[in-house]
Amino acid sequence: MARPHIEPYVELDAPFKKFDLNGFKGSHYKVLSLDTDTGACTLKVRFDGGFKRKAGMSYSDMEFFVLNGGVKVGNEVWGEGHYAFVPAGQHLGAMSVPKGAEALVMFNDSEPSFVESDRNHQLALTESFNSFNAYNDAPWGPGNLVSPSVATGVGIKILHYDVLTQAITFLYYMSPEFQQNNISYHDCAEESYHIWGASWMMQFGDLPTGGYFWRPPYIDHGAFKCKLGCIAVGRTDSKLHNYFHFNPWANPDENKMRAAAHLYRQRPQLYEWAASDGHNHPHGPPDFEHQHYHDDAQVRHLHNHAPVGVKEGTQKAPKKKSRR
């Protein structure tokens, strides 16, 4: 995965650009973050009234969150707050936008792609398709999903959860006068877009409405404050663990070492095994529960392995290199 650290980026003043790729002609976009190898990206897309496209599919998993307006997709109407996870190859009905809409559109595997089709691709993992209104049809839960957890005053709605990688997409809020006096980092990349409201972090200052970040693993963020409340879309690319500390000057290498030291102390057998045997399993060790996880596109994406059947160098496939 090679998206650079984009934080903070406030997109509201940046101009939209004409979206001239197949399936998007007639819409406009801004790149929030882009994987320079694979083309995986998060975009803000503006569909003007009158936008239409035929039914079809993408070669990448796609996530779609409607910020405002409404989009007709097949028989469904996706209004403000609608979230959809559309697995690669999943057929989506014809799209039309009667009065205009803006959406976050995430392509998790490769650059935006679209082919007209009236059916699912035969390899599509359609069981992961999900489409619902996140504002109306999902409950708020407390923010303490993982331990150690955030302080009281954060609420979460889970929008998507990937069983293999534990990547999650979620809606979250911070309440007015929220504060959390620690510094955090994770093993996963973390992404956020502020739909409304501002929060503050000690490294980056204020993140207002329209504020965005893509933060690679092991990068410090926090302490945290929120004066008046905010609501945002968040996402991780794998399991989120909060490593809290209070050294404002720690760098990502030191943070990663500290995470490995946790593993060494808390899961000694696993650490020893990974340190001694890891190189014998370049595509991951066997897992009797998830026997075919090696084939999973996101798992391979996380390890910078080129798609199966694509020879390195023929498709600007991701170079194999370690993640930060």
Q: Which stretch binds another protein (CB under 8 A): 69-77, 96-104, 228-236, 293-301?
A: 293-301
Residues facing residue 185 across a β-bridge: 243
Q: Which of 50, 52, 247, 320 binds another protein (CB under 8 A)?
A: 247
Which residues lie near Fe ion (CB under 5 A)?
A: 184, 190
Minimum separation from the CB atom of position 319 to another protein (A):
14
Nearest Cα to Cα of residue 219 among 179, 264, 261, 188: 188
Q: Which of 290, 310, 319, 321 binds another protein (CB under 8 A)?
A: 310
Minimum separation from the CB atom of position 272 to another protein (A):
27
Residues facing residue 190 across a β-bridge: 215, 236
Minimum separation from the CB atom of position 77 to another protein (A):
27
Q: Which stretch binds another protein (CB under 8 A): 47-55, 190-198, 256-264, 314-322?
A: 314-322
Q: How many residues bind another protein (CB under 8 A)?
A: 70
Nearest Cα to Cα of residue 132 among 54, 194, 73, 193: 73
Q: Which stretch binds another protein (CB under 8 A): 74-82, 128-136, 249-257, 259-267?
A: 249-257
Nearest CB to another protein, comparing residues 81 and 112? 112
Nearest CB to another protein, comparing residues 78 and 218? 218
Q: Which of 145, 223, 231, 259 binds another protein (CB under 8 A)?
A: 223
Q: Residues 11-50 vs another protein: string with x where CB under 8 A?
A: ---------xxx--------x-xx-x--x-x---------
CA torsion 246-247-249-251 (nearest 10°) is -90
Q: Which stretch binds another protein (CB under 8 A): 3-11, 130-138, 166-174, 190-198?
A: 3-11
31 contact, one of another protein, Fe ion, none, CB 5-8 Å limit per kind: another protein
Nearest CB to Fe ion, comparing residues 45 and 207? 207
Is residue 294 at the binding interface for another protein, with CB under 8 A as the rule?
yes
Residues near another protein (CB under 8 A):
4-9, 20-22, 31, 33-34, 36, 39, 41, 57, 59-61, 87-89, 109-113, 121, 123-125, 144, 147-152, 180-182, 202-205, 216, 219-220, 223, 244, 246-249, 251-252, 283, 292, 294-297, 307-310, 314-316, 324
